[in-house]
Structure 1
Amino acid sequence: MSIVMRIASRLRLWPLIATVLLIVAGCALGQWQTRRAEQKEALFQEIEKASSAPLIYLNKTTTDHVFSPFRRLVVEGEFVQDWPLYLDNRPLQGRAGFYVLMPLRVTGTNQFILVARGWQVRNPVERTKLPPLYTPPGQITLTGMMRDKLDRAMQLGQAEKVKSGSIIQNLDLNDLTAQTGMQFYPFIIEQTSEVADGLQRDWPLPSSGADKHRAYAFQWYALSIMALIFFLVTGFRREKK
């Protein structure tokens, strides 16, 4: 009997099948996590490139092709003071709070841009009790970063109709346009210029997350190796003496 036949006769079938499946699944998931890490790194490089590009000055002559997420922008306009909105469940440094949003009418146009003005702490006792909000009157010039959308929070149940002063979980610009009649630019500004309004503007940039995906990939590859080692130790019948 050849060595190959002797080895084959000692193999345990079901442990062999289980080991092969584990190795294939582990390698496939490891490769998927590696690709995700590469995608996140590429996206983060695009974000850094956009945020370091020259400022865009938004006015009635600005063309749409310059709009892209994370570009820095300067705009002049007037806040619609009676339309504050509050995005709930946006913690900062371990404290519960809101993102304060407000439409800004762009000077010389009939269009509005939604500005994420900053972060405001939430009342720890009465969630819906909001502190006074100072809004600069008249024409102002502000600087910010363009975002195609705001980060979403978990939505439980049906979203309520948006109205002035609403405390909401998430916001869609198309819905806001339909419910207010205001014509919004297809992006949001995270304000970075300072105003003495008591709001914090420590906007978090999306992290690349590549290290996390590489760690997951390592775990899946390690699982494949452990499955192989376990089979080599236990997957053979012992020879009778």
Structure 2
Amino acid sequence: MYRFLLTPRWLGINLFAVLAVPVCVWLGVWQLGRFEQRTHAGDHRSAQAAALARPVPLAGLLQGSDAHTVAANDVGREISFSGQYDAAHQLLVPQRTVNGRSGYYVLTPLQPTGGGLRIAVVRGWTASATDLPAPPQGTVQLHGRLQTPEDASSPEVIGSGSLPAGQVGMISPSTLVNLLPYSVYDGWVALDGGDANLVAVPTYQPSGGNGLTLQAFQNLGYTGQWFVFAGFVIFMWARFVRREVEVARDRALGLEI
């Protein structure tokens, strides 16, 4: 009764089913692996964010052959440092928005304890360019987040040529070198809390998340989809076989088809 399975037509159908089922299963397993990778990547990001949230001494980041630049894995890192402000060269960075209001970043160079390159410290934000609070005198102990230099593509950056004295349009060594009598570190620090009644500025901070992103759920959906396809191939093959058996039985009984 099942000799029809050896006919050329059915050999093609059988071959298709034999190949399609494992391919669908393999694709489902692959998508399941992608789902696990994305969720584990979220765990890794959470661990990395937790590590970056622990303050580290700034001096440790200023060592090595590339100490003049901010390493990619140090962006947003919480740092602790001490030093003395250079109040004579305090600058304003205009057109910076905080809490929906446009104002100024107050940038004050700081000489880290132990020497080395000075670093630009954004002490906070103010709405007015007048009556600015003076930075603390003497050695100060600070906490903040390390940020990369700005570039001209940032929407808030404006040309320094149109600014009055004492203002800079971009926080970058390439612009600060024209206003300061010394070189600065290729990066800047935003204090955690606004200094001297200044408002703390928003900064980049790494976020971990739980890994259950939209992409992860898409991979999980694709996993189920491929397993459904595999089951559908088996179901249709069995249905076609049953139909063929019924047709053969009807022919044997001399029934009209």
Query: What TM-score, normalized to structure 1?
Result: 0.60
Say which is worse superposed, 12-21 or 28-37, in terms of deviation: 12-21
Aligned mates of 1:84, 1:43 — CA distance in 2: 33
* Alpha-carbon spacing, 1:17–1:159, altered in 2? closer, same or farther (3 Å): farther
More helix by share: 2
CA distance in 2, matches of 1:81, 1:220: 54
Paired residue for 1:42, among 12, 30, 47? 47
SS at match of 1:136: coil
Task: Rate the CA distance shift 1:17–1:132 in 2: closer, same or farther, 3 A.
Answer: farther
The percent identity for this pair of structures is 11
In structure 1, C-alpha distance between the alignment counterparts of 2:125 and 2:46, rounded to whole Å: 28
- Is 1:189 equivalent to 2:189 in the alignment? yes
Select the structure of larger CA radius of gyration: 2
TM-score (norm 2): 0.58
**Structure 1: which 5+ runs fail to align?**
122-129
State the number of aligned residues.
218
- The answer as to 2:93 corresponding to 1:85 is yes
Match of 1:134 in 2: 132
Cα shift at 1:84? 1.2
* Equivalent AA in structure 1 for residue 133 of structure 2: T
Contact 2:193 2:199 in 1 (8 A): no
Alignment partner of 1:72 out of 65, 76, 80: 80
CA-based RMSD of the aligned residues comes to 4.9
Distance 1:117 1:82, change over 3 A: closer
Report Cα offsets for 1:155-204 as digits up to 9, x if no partner: 46x98457653445xx444x23544453113442222465444x212656
Q: Distance in 2 between matches of 1:201 and 1:24?
A: 48
**Deviation for aligned residue 1:224:** 1.4
Match of 1:209? 208
Q: Which consecutive unaligned segments of at least 5 residues does structure 2 have? A: 68-73, 247-257
SS of equivalent to 1:211: coil
Counterparts of 1:52-201 in structure 2, within 5 Å, are 64-65=62-63, 69-80=77-88, 83-86=91-94, 88=96, 91-92=98-99, 95-97=100-102, 100-106=105-111, 111-120=117-126, 132=130, 134-136=132-134, 139=137, 141=140, 143-149=142-148, 155=154, 160=159, 164-168=166-170, 171-173=171-173, 175-180=174-179, 182-192=182-192, 195-197=195-197, 199-201=198-200
Cα distance in 2, alignment partners of residues 223 and 63 from structure 1: 43
